Amino acid sequence: MPKDKTPEGNDVPVIELRNIDKTFRSGKTAVSAVRNVSLSVSDGEIFGIIGFSGAGKSTLVRCINLLERPTSGQVVVDGVDLTTLSAKQLRAARKNIGMIFQQFNLLSQRTVANNVRFPLETSGVPRARADERVRELLQLVDLSDKADVYPAQLSGGQKQRVAIARALACNPKIILCDEATSALDPLTTHSILDLLKRLNEQLGVTIVVITHEMRVVEQICDRVAVMDAGEVVEEGRVRDVFLRPQSETARRLIDPAYQTGSRVSLPPNTLRLAFTGEESGAPVISDLTVQCNAMVSIVSANTENIGGKPFGQMLIEMPPDAASQARICAYLDKRGISYEKSDASEGGGRMPKQAASAPSAQAPASDASNACDTSQNDVPAIGKE
């Protein structure tokens, strides 16, 4: 991006959520879906809101355009508090906010061109101007050759491209994407995310992305808020959240095993390492083995691209003795590699709860568990950089 779009870059927020609460009531039963959430999204930013199912993220995004009216709090869009508007004023304000859904919501009896034309018709745009706008939008989303076909003849990715073109029809300043790629295969998801990023760069449109998939956030988002049980438990630049997750929810979301559904109990004395830049491609483990005179086992490893820069993470199992663990942690500190020691015996960090291991013959179990103690670092449970 050509400019810093985060609040630190001093851009004026285009979306401000102030102390948003949303409670659903059924008789005497009340369910709090969103709890005291405050967020700020800068003009031209791609902002992600991520969480597991039931976290409240979809309810929150529907509060932005007041499809769900907050029980309390303010929704300020482009300087206007939407909660204070009349019904007529709100309809006008919503034209500045496009929305893309998981299920596309196309009109099956209309052609692709007529689906894109629909919001222009309801806005009273003259036919000639609407036709020109439809042609522009279909070219923008690479569907010029599909103008006269019907939704049933399209693939899932093509349907979502039609939905994106329709959302852009009235030149909105903001696009809300509610799990827009969840129904798509990985390859199609990648192409749709590339399209959204291109539209952000070409049109300057602000995009809010709701997802439960970290791969979506890492591919296109500038910043991310992590939600759990209706609350924002963590917020920051995507790179920082990946490198130094502060919440249990974020730790689980960035764990590759959770993402693939292959989560298994991990051995004790496991470290999560995080690499950025050149370190992500360096032979760290082989060098560690030589320098520390200690053998480690690689439990899992993966490399991602975040904001055009490589980011890697790895789970390694250390030897059981405290001396070897201390040498390994000292080596990682020296190399400036972030690490997190997970307490498998107590289910802390990102590790599942499991029975405590028997004490090692080389060192008491309590000593081994403290060999890589990171509690004195500025960032909890993260090694020095």
Tokens linked to 379: 């960032």
* pLDDT digit string, tens, across residues 179-189: 988 888 889 99
Q: Could you give the CA distance from residue 186 to residue 194 in angstroms, rounded to a whole number?
A: 12
Whether residue 323 sits in one domain with residue 296: yes
Average pLDDT, the chain: 82
Q: Which of 229, 246, 263 is the last residue of a domain?
A: 246
User: Residue 354 — very low, low, confident or very high, per pLDDT cuts 50/70/90?
Assistant: very low
Q: What is the CATH number of the domain that holds 279?
A: 3.30.70.260
Whether residue 261 sits in one domain with residue 232: no
Whether residue 95 sits in one domain with residue 214: yes
Q: Could you give the CA distance from residue 70 to residue 21 in angstroms, rounded to a whole number?
A: 6
**Is residue 284 over pLDDT 90?**
no
Whether residue 272 sits in one domain with residue 238: no
- Show the domain range for 289: 255-370
Q: Could you give the CA distance from residue 328 to residue 290 in angstroms, rounded to a whole number?
A: 11
**Is residue 304 over pLDDT 80?**
no
* pLDDT digit string, tens, across residues 23-65: 999 888 999 999 999 999 999 999 999 999 999 999 999 999 9
The pLDDT of 289-318, averaged and rounded, is: 79
Tokens linked to 378: 């500025």
**Domain tally, the chain:** 2
Query: pTM for the whole thing?
Result: 0.76
Q: What is the DSSP string of 93-106?
A: HHTTEEEEETT---
Structural domain contains residue 1: no
List of residues 6+ apart from 156 with CB closer than 8 A: 104, 183, 184, 185, 188
Structural domain contains residue 286: yes
